[in-house]
Structure 1
Amino acid sequence: MTFVIAMPCVDVKDKACIDECPVDCIYEGERMLYVHPDECTDCGACEPVCPVEAIFFEDDTPQDWQHFTTVNAEFFADLGSPGSSAKLGPIGRDHPVVAALPSQCAL
């Protein structure tokens, strides 16, 4: 099991979770943040600091956002396991599902 970042993060990217994560397993895409499922230790430090409540334990992810479990995992398909988001820095892309979403920014 792992934690999952879901829809409320899209176009927000507060990054408080990145600062709180002791293993640097939260990576920055263009429009949202992603938890690396193989690097996450399930400590839960990220969940309470998210201002938009976008982080869920995998089994507790709301039904409408269950597909974000796959979205988070597939984001790393070509990256493998870099071992540290701090070393890698922002990744200049998003998962295709996220990239295709309409802007979540208020006009």
Structure 2
Amino acid sequence: MEYWRNNEDRDAQEVKVEAIVLSRDAEEIALLELLAEKAFDALYDQHKKAIYKLNEQQRSGYEKLRLATAKPQEVPWHLPASINFTRKPTDTLW
């Protein structure tokens, strides 16, 4: 979409053809993926403190994006605020 926006003043058909040709070039795709990964990592690093403060459901969306890569990524581990359970009076106390 960014390529499309940057070339909006040109012939639409020509821009579509260029996008198709570039998408079939393995080296260009690899470069594009590398640039996208670096941009995502930079944004994640910039906002990771705010992401950490989100509730678990909101945070999991960002973690799914972070883990959608071929290379392993570090994801902070979060303990739940509380664990709900019940204990019978006859249960052993540890």
Answer with 1 or 2: which has the greater Rg.
Answer: 2
More helix by share: 2
Q: TM-score range, shorter-chain basis?
A: under 0.3
More strand by share: 1
Structure-1-length-normalised TM-score: 0.22
Relative contact order (C-alpha < 8 Å, sep 6+): which is higher? 1
